[in-house]
Amino acid sequence: MVKSLIMSGFLLMAQAVLYGQTSGSVARETQIDGDILQHQDRAMNVLLGWSGLSVASGAVMLSSSSRVTRDFGWQNIGWGAIDGGIALFAKQAIAKKRKVGFDPEKERKKFQKTLLINTMLDVVYIGAGSALAASGKGKLKGHGYGVIVQGSFLFLFDGINYILVKRR
């Protein structure tokens, strides 16, 4: 059960990141290349989608008879809530920057640096989750699996966005 949940999580996260970053026409992509705030806004939409998926799947997992699955669910709910808060805060900041003005190149470099730091932190999350899952203790296993899935999504999300912003 847990293995299928992990695999489903990986498939959903890959789909969310790739869909969010590749959807749209060539004209739309060209427009985004010229507007870092639009790229950030689209990225936050993907993060909001992942947040909702995480909270919803976590809520379903809480009804499981398996402690490992329930603990996995708690991780999904917690990470989903935090991701949602970050995305909403970022969307407000983007709207404010559009009103007051911003330096596009400075904003691109700042976003790129944030993504690079986050990608490195994501590796730490995956490692910590792996250590928890490998501990063999029931409660830690479920939390570990949850951290691995959430950290893996963030690694893909931050890494792909870093590459897309860097190539501009």
The per-residue pLDDT string of the chain (168 residues; one tens digit each, 9 = 90 and over) reads 555 455 555 555 555 555 454 444 333 443 444 589 999 999 999 999 999 999 999 999 999 999 999 999 999 999 999 999 999 999 999 999 999 989 999 999 999 999 999 999 999 999 999 999 998 777 799 999 999 999 999 999 999 999 999 876
Q: Are 84 and 55 in contact (CB under 8 A)?
A: yes
Please tell me the total count of domains within the chain. Answer: 1
Q: Which domain holds residue 72?
A: 2-166
Please state the pTM of the whole predicted model.
0.81
Integer angstrom CA distances of residue 133 from 5, 23, 52, 78, 153: 14, 35, 24, 17, 17
